Structure 1
Amino acid sequence: MPASPSTARALNDRLALRLLQQEGPLTAGQLKQLTGLSRPTVADLVDRLTAAGLIQVVGESGEQRRGPNARLYGIVAGRAHLAALDVRTEGVLVLVSDLLGRVLAEASAPIGGDTGTGPAVEQAVAAVERAVKEGGADRLHTVGIGAPGLIDPATGDLRDSAGLPAWHRSLVAALQDRLPGARVTVENETNLAALAEQREGAARDRDTFVLLWLGHGVGAAVVLDGTLRRGASGGTGEIGFLPVPGTDTLPSATDCDGGFHSLAGAAAVVSLAADCGLPAPGPEGGADAADGTEGAGGAARAVRGAADGSGAARVVRDAVARASAADERFLHALADRVAVGAASVVAVLDPGCVVLGGEIGRAGGAVLAGLVEERLRRMSPLATEVRASGLGGAAVLRGALITARERAQDELFGQPER
């Protein structure tokens, strides 16, 4: 059945807006060429989108004669402002952007483990409000949050998880109360990191891959045929509970000790380094200067120095840099452990590509990725490429921003009628 005129207009408008988002400012003639629409149809949609305040004239094309045909149209970036949050066990990172995703301001709020729920939430919300003010935004349209733990697929809420601060679950409600009108969404941090790697990082050429998160704990995000898979209960990728050889016991429904977490979590990595004769991780101060977090700015470094998994990451990063005999033994033993969990994922999903993320995965970089890939070739008949994260410490924030931006654009650009 042919589309109704209103549906056709909505589809054409969304197509033009997506092109302006991807390509930058375009003339009406360029929109005609890229969309395949007629000149009158393009003229109508330009008038319609301009009247709606979604696009505006931003200059003239130097390749055409001056006049109406040379006008360059671009999305009104200030039509909506967005916030992205990376919520950690010991703090929160915040950035504020315009509708095009250009970062306008950043802030951070380190939060001690003994801070009560109320004060912790207040510090986190204050960091958001500070970034909003510094970014010159009157109000926020959409807030995207990345947090550890499971997300209830039915409600979209962060589920109560053992070992995570109580203020995490209270933060969403507080933001909704203090930011009236803002759409607040929360997603698992590993899922957001995978989304960012798919759009901007190591998996840009892959529509099927697994992100293996190696940090304080371990986890995975699964992207199949271009779509993030969350599972029936939102628990896809909870591989910390994966029973594996090499542990003293089996995990339980309430405790992942004895699972893959016991082999590759931060505490296990530090213990392995000690067994290999490596020095214990040093003081926190300045340790993350080489963590590749420039994309998240100084705000990221302020919290990440005390973030979970940072001590283990320093051990791995130092081992890669020194490359002594003891370091080599440690890195090979670590790759053995990581490959055990990765091989199980590969056997079930056959993703063709595994990206190593999280603090430890990033610290190991291409060296650890290469060692794990070598072991997978011996352990599995399924060809699997292993890559290091391409986004460093900014992956969760970038994923949260992408999510917020797409939700805002879907609402502002309009959904086509069905």
Structure 2
Amino acid sequence: MSSRNPSRLTRSLNDRLVIDLLLEHGPLDRPTLARLTGLSKPSVADLVGRLLESGLVEEIGEGPSTRRGPNAMLYGLTGGLAAVAGVELQPDHAQASIADVNGSELGAVNVPIRPDESPSELVARALRQAAEPSSIDIGDLTTAVVGTPGIVDPSGDMSFVWGQPEWTGGQLARMHDALGIPVRFENDINLAAIAERRLGRAVDAEAFALFKCDEGVGAAIMLGSQLVRGSHGAAGEIGYVPDLAWEQRSAGDYNEGLQSVAGARGLAAALADLGLADLSPAAVLAPGPDDTGPDGRDAVPAELRQRFLLEVARRLAFGVVSVCAVIDPELIVLVGEIATAGGDRLAEAVGSRVAQTSPFRPAVVVSGLGHDAVVSGAVTTALDSARDEIYGVAPVFVRSAPAIRRTP
């Protein structure tokens, strides 16, 4: 028999419902809370009083009213109860953001790595700089979520990072020692997918896959609100999808497959075949008239731009079809420098190629979250953890507020 008190559980659920509504909408008065929750006005009055007494909610001031009599009091979440950090860690830089538990951004930075600086030293330095505007000591943060390329295994540590063998083995313990707070690693593309599901183009998608098209290629898969990590944390590592010559590889050779044709090295080779070896893929994909060359270089004819775009789409579509054959998603979201440069034209070309070569018909779009996608996903994940710790019962079904409210 359960030892939980049903009335106490119901009260906790209702408390969290109100808290989530305040996170989503900002300050609200009691009549509005009664309408949104479906609870009676006396129940809402009791609930708000309980939250005020606990210190989780505070009176903000009187709101506007169109009725005669005194204006209704607005209630909002108490600020300053906790702060969290989200970080994107890459081999050459770290992007960090610190947010209050209500989602207000307190500081953000993007810092390049220094010579001989370890990942934990880089993250600690980035967080100290991000904390400066709010005078927060990073040791007072409730938690930090760090997005990293590669595979994060079920233990929570990095088990494989392509091109960075020194990053694996004991990195989580070193990061915890450097920061002095609870730290969680997550694959960077997984975090971008979480941000896309909560804040971006995939908010209403039941099943979608996010494809990163950048220095390397990778994917993340979400079924509903559930991120698919796999039994070893390697779900979505489509860069290792083999090509036709996979049987000829040496044992442990991870440099071939889709990564070698759709990543930076493969696209550079495709540009060389078009006589554009001195240009970057993003520069050629970015739309521009024939008489205007990127960064002062010679103009790129529209015909060559289109040929390269279709070649990129052909290579990406190979990975998209591979994922569609397993989960049949309704939506594919493209992210990264290549996707941003190619824009809607690239998304349309990928979708057309998928339709030409398979029975799958996912919608293909480009993310609108830009370079902040990974950090937004990291902050979102950290806020979920901190809010559960502070507010108790896990959130009920309301659409979440943006993870970060950036100040102008």
Instruction: Tell me how far 1:369 sits from its aligned partner.
Output: 0.6
Summarize the Cα distance change of 1:116–1:133 in structure 2 as closer, same or farther, 3 Å threshold. closer
For the aligned residue pairs, the C-alpha RMSD in angstroms reads 2.5
- Is the CA contact 1:20–1:26 (under 8 Å) kept in the aligned structure 2? yes
Q: Secondary structure of 2:23's partner?
A: helix
Q: Matched residues in 1 for 2:260 and 2:98: separation?
A: 37
* Deviation readout 1:229-261 (Å, 9 max, x if unpaired): 11111111111111235x686666633333111
Asked if residue 163 in structure 1 is aligned to residue 163 in structure 2, the reply is: yes
If the length of structure 2 is used for normalisation, what is the TM-score?
0.86
Identity %: 39
For 2:186 and 2:308, how far apart are their aligned partners in 1? 34
Task: Tell me the residue number matched to 2:41.
Answer: 39
Write the letter of the residue equivalent to 1:149.
G
Other-structure match for 1:238: 237
Q: Displacement, 1:218?
A: 1.1
Question: Which one of the candidate residues 250, 259, 262 is aligned to 1:261?
Answer: 259
* Kept after mapping to 2: 8 A contact 1:243/1:251: no
Give 1:175 deviation, angstroms.
Answer: 4.4
Match of 1:86, as an amino acid?
E
Q: Which amino acid aligns with 1:132?
A: A
Is the 2:159–2:168 Cα contact (8 Å) retained in structure 1?
no
Q: Which residue of 1 aligns with 2:399?
A: none
**Aligned-partner Cα distance in 2 for 1:364–1:253:** 35
- In the TM superposition, residue 268 of structure 1 has moved relative to its aligned partner by 0.8
1:200 aligns with 2:199: yes
**Aligned equivalent of 2:176:** 176
- For structure 1, which segment, 336-345 or 155-164, has the greater mean C-alpha deviation from structure 2 after superposition? 155-164
2:348 equivalent to 1:370: yes
The corresponding residue for 1:301 is: none
TM-score, normalised on structure 1? 0.84
Residue 123 and residue 345 in structure 1: after superposition, are their counterparts in 2 closer, same or farther (change >3 A)? Answer: closer
Tell me, yes or no, if the aligned pair for 2:268 and 2:277 is still in contact at 8 Å.
Answer: no
Following the alignment from structure 1 to structure 2, what is the Cα–Cα distance between the partners of residues 11 and 75? Answer: 17
CA contact (8 A) 1:109 1:124 kept: no
Shift of 1:279: 4.5
Amino acid at match of 1:22: E
Q: Aligned ranges for residues 337-352 of structure 1 at < 5 Å?
A: 337-352=315-330
Unaligned regions of 5+ residues in structure 2, if any?
295-299, 395-408
CA distance in 2, matches of 1:329, 1:218: 21
Match of 1:396 in 2: 374
Counting matched residue pairs gives 380
Counterpart residue type for residue 151 of structure 2: L
Cα shift at 1:312: 3.9
1:91 deviation in Å? 1.3
Distance 1:252 1:223, change over 3 A: farther
Q: CA deviation at 1:158?
A: 2.1
Q: Conserved in 2, the CA contact under 8 Å of 1:251 and 1:259?
A: no
1:140 Cα deviation (Å)? 1.1
Alignment of 1:203-222 (within 5 A): 203-222=202-221
The secondary structure found in structure 1 opposite 2:344 is helix
1:292: which partner in 2? none
Mapped to 1, the partners of 2:72 and 2:268 lie a distance apart of 61
Give me the whole-angstrom Cα distance separating, in 1, the residues matched to 2:367 and 2:248: 30
Name 1:305's counterpart in structure 2: none
Q: What secondary structure, in the 3-state scheme, does the structure 1 residue paired with 2:389 have?
A: helix
